[in-house]
Amino acid sequence: MLSKPFMTTQEIAELLKVREQTVRSWIHQQELRAVKLGREFRVAVKDLEAFVNEHATREPSWRKPDSSRAP
């Protein structure tokens, strides 16, 4: 199991350099998957990573098929 499986909206905002309201907006728009515990949301690290990857401008070079190789 991960040493820190969940993050708060404040931690995510600080990490991504956005306002906490922006993180909450992503959650309410169902762009970022979260769990509501009491009155606050928590986001699994793997869900945050998936969100960031989905919003990347391009695929990382290690995920692109190598066109120089012939099958």
- DSSP for 20-34? HHHHHHHHHTTSS--
Q: Which CATH number fits domain 6-56: 2.40.128, 3.30.530, 1.10.10, 3.40.630?
A: 1.10.10
Whole-number pLDDT of residue 65:
63
Whole-number pLDDT of residue 38:
93
Residue 68 pLDDT > 80, yes or no?
A: no
Give yes or no for a contact between 35 and 6, defined as CB atoms under 8 angstroms apart. Answer: yes
Digit-coded pLDDT (tens) for 12-59: 999 999 999 999 999 999 999 999 999 999 999 999 999 999 998 876
SS3 5: coil
pTM over 0.85: no
- Integer CA distances (angstroms), 67 to 4, 25, 49, 71, in order: 38, 39, 27, 10
